[in-house]
Amino acid sequence: MIYLLLNVLIVLFCTFMYYMFLLKPELEKRYRQLLISVVSMIAITLCMMFPFADLDGNIYDLRALPFLIGALYGGRKVAITLFFGVITVRLFMGINLGFYITVVHTFIMFLYTYYFSSTFKRSKFSTKLLSSIIFVSFIYLLNYGLLFFYFDSFDEYKISILLNKFLVLILSLILILYIIEYLLQNFRFKEELNEAEKLRVVSQLAASVSHEVRNPLTVTRGFLQLLKDENIDTQKRRDYLNLSLQELDRAQTIITDYLTYARPSEEINFIKLELWDEIEYVVKVMRPYALMFGVDIDSSDVKAGTIIGDTQKFRQCLINLTKNGIEAMPNGGKLSISANSSNKEVQILIKDTGIGMSQDQIEMVGVPYQSTKKTGTGLGTMVAINIIKSMNGTIEVTSMIGSGTNITLTFPNAK
């Protein structure tokens, strides 16, 4: 009886093991089928290694449960894999009457699961349960019918033992099917919830982008209407054109930032990046812009370090963050960029001496259209945070009003 319960626990444990991995959405379908095959085969092998026996020494196990469940939920490829796996394991255990009985009922289970797995997955739970109980009952009766035909001796005691084992088998099947369907339902619900959340965020973001793009377009339209006046002087015409171009550039920036945020992280080309090279590039690009604000950029404290990321995206991230720091110092100041690395991680510190932020403003960092700048949209910071997350990094912002802002980026060390 102990080994019978052990068989049940083995099947339950392997079922939970599979669904622990199933809850990872990045797991592709072919890997899920491979995982089902491996977990089911482990359960089958363990059940065969720890069988239970009656008083006459006849050996039984619950290998049929992981075979049926794995093949029905995994599909035809899993059914083929499990069929040859069971025959191979049983072959190593020796060729006797049990081997031939195994071949017969395993082949029957294979045929059933091979042709009905697709129908099974589309069926209601009640249909799945009823069909599984009927088939397991058939396999059980067939198995012991062959034994009865071979030994031709079954007394009331043996029949009661077989009925008890049959009852345990059916109850185990019902329990496992209930657990699987419950976990699958939760998994589907979680996926639907994630999709609904994505749609909600995209909907809100699209509405915000539409609003922000409309503003510069409206301004540009107004200037173009003014340009229709033939009496306007050349200087004003030039000013109106420049302002129109600036507004169109702002609209283009908003759209570009939105597309960058919405673009899937799979499009990022990950390679090894040297911190010194990347930061020096950003400093050279941003130095002319910093001079316009009277800001000095200091990158003398950048230590060597290597991270994994996309060159263009990482540079865009640093440019967005340094641009924010520069614009936070309208009356001039100093922007310091430092970097250091340890065995496990690499840290980049971007520090400015600007106007700083309150705690409420810090909590809104990265939220679309929440910016400390009058003409800001917050999309640049949101894009930067999105890039950092795609590189398995983190961002920490500390600031006080009038004392500047510190931004700490942490990434895994690639060395």
**Does the structure show a pLDDT above 50 at 352?**
yes
Domain assignment present for 281: yes
Q: Are residues 147 and 285 in the same domain?
A: no
Does residue 202 lie within any of the structural domains? Answer: no
CB-count burial class (<10 Å; 0-12, 13-18, 19+) for 391: buried
- Using the predicted structure, report yes or no on whether residue 194 has a pLDDT greater than 80: no
Say if residue 129 is in the same domain as residue 8.
yes
Instruction: Identify whether the C-beta of residue 381 lies closer than 8 Å to the C-beta of residue 337.
Output: no
Residues 278 and 175 in one domain: no
Residue 79, number of CB atoms within 10 A of its CB: 25
Which of 51, 132, 49, 52 has the alpha carbon at shortest distance from 92? 49
Residues 139/108, Cβ–Cβ less than 8 Å: yes
Structure token digits, residue 304? 């060597």
Q: Is residue 399 part of a domain?
A: yes
Q: How many CB atoms lie within 10 A of CB 31?
A: 12
Q: Which of 16-25, 140-149, 228-237 has the highest mean pLDDT?
A: 228-237
The more confident residue out of 3 and 301 is 301
> Residue 171's pLDDT is what?
86
CA separation, residue 369 to residues 320, 376, 387 (Å): 15, 7, 18
Residue where a domain stops, chosen among 195, 212, 235: 195
- Higher-pLDDT residue of 406, 374: 406
Phi and psi at 48, nearest 5°, equal: -75, -30
Looking at residue 161, its amino acid is I
Q: Which of 56-60, 131-135, 376-380 has the highest mean pLDDT?
A: 131-135
CATH number at residue 99: 1.10.1760.20
Could you list the beta-strand ranges (E) of 342-380: 345-352
pLDDT score, position 26 = 53
Q: Is 102 a member of any domain?
A: yes
* pLDDT, average across residues 214-227: 78
Give the SS3 label for residue 291: helix
Q: What would the mean pLDDT of 315-339 be, rounded to a whole number?
A: 87
pLDDT of residue 376: 46
User: Which residue has better confidence, 28 or 205?
Assistant: 205
What residue numbers bound the domain in which 370 lies?
A: 267-412
d(CA 172, CA 6): 12
Q: Does any domain span residue 207? A: no
Other Cβ atoms less than 10 A from the Cβ of 329: the count is: 20
Task: Count the residues in the chain.
Answer: 415
Q: Could you tell me the pLDDT band of residue 378, with boundaries at 50, 70 and 90? A: low
Q: How many helices (H) and strands (E) in the chain?
A: 12, 9
Enter the pTM of the model. Answer: 0.51
**What's the order of all strands across the beta sheet hosting 405-412?**
295-298, 333-341, 345-352, 405-412, 394-399
With beta carbons less than 8 A apart as the criterion, state whether 348 and 395 touch. no
Say if 245 falls within a structural domain: no
> Is the pLDDT reported for residue 297 higher than 80?
yes
Domain boundary among 195, 213, 237: 195
Q: Is the dihedral of CA 76, 71, 195, 313 positive or negative?
A: negative
| Judgement on whether residues 50 and 187 belong to the same structural domain of the protein | yes
pLDDT at 327: 85
Report helix, strand and coil shares of the chain as percent, to nearest 5. 65, 10, 20
- pLDDT over 60 (residue 129): yes
| Same-domain pairing of 301 and 391 | yes
Comparing 73-82, 130-139, 149-158, 401-410, which segment has the lowest mean pLDDT? 149-158
pLDDT of residue 83: 92
Distance of alpha carbon 129 from alpha carbon 135, whole angstroms? 10
Q: What is the pLDDT of residue 145?
A: 64
190 and 322 share one domain: no
Q: Dump pLDDT digits (tens) for 5-34.
A: 787 888 888 878 777 766 555 555 667 788
pLDDT, position 256: 72
CA 282 to chain centre: 31
Q: Which of residues 160, 195, 230 is at a domain's end?
A: 195
Is the pLDDT at 261 greater than 70, yes or no? Answer: no
Q: Which domain CATH number covers 365?
A: 3.30.565.10
Residues 153 and 13 in one domain: yes
Count Cβ atoms within 10 A of the Cβ of residue 73 and give its class: 0-12 exposed, 13-18 middle, 19 or more buried.
buried
What does the pLDDT read at residue 144?
66
Give the pLDDT mean for 178-200. Answer: 81
Percent of the chain whose pLDDT exceeds 90 = 2
Terminal alpha carbon distance of the chain: 54
Residues 189 and 44 both lie in one domain: yes
Please tell me the predicted confidence (pLDDT) of residue 211.
62
Residue 200 placed within a domain: no
Do 136 and 284 sit in the same domain of this protein?
A: no
For the segment 299-321, the average pLDDT, to the nearest whole number, is 83
Residue 406 has pLDDT above 80, yes or no: yes
Q: How many domains does the chain have?
A: 2
What is the dihedral sign for C-alpha 156, 161, 164, 165? negative
Contact call for residues 397 and 366 (beta carbons, < 8 A) = no
Least confident of 15-19, 153-157, 211-215: 153-157
Rg, the chain, Cα only: 33
Phi first, then psi, for residue 211 (nearest 5°) are -65, -45
How do 59-60 and 306-309 pair as beta strands?
unpaired
Nearest CA to 22 out of 145, 190, 141 is that of 190
Q: How many angstroms separate the Cα of 51 from the Cα of each of 3, 46, 325, 347?
A: 6, 9, 69, 56
Q: Which pLDDT belongs to residue 377?
A: 46
- Pair 187, 271 in one domain: no
Highest mean pLDDT among 24-38, 225-239, 256-270, 341-355 belongs to 341-355
Secondary structure (3-state) at 284? helix
Is 181 in the same domain as 274? no
Q: Is pLDDT of 161 > 50?
A: yes
Computed over every residue of the chain, the mean pLDDT equals: 79
**pLDDT, tens digit (0-9, with 9 covering 90-100), for 74-115:** 888 889 999 999 899 888 888 887 788 788 888 988 998 888
In a domain, 353, yes or no: yes
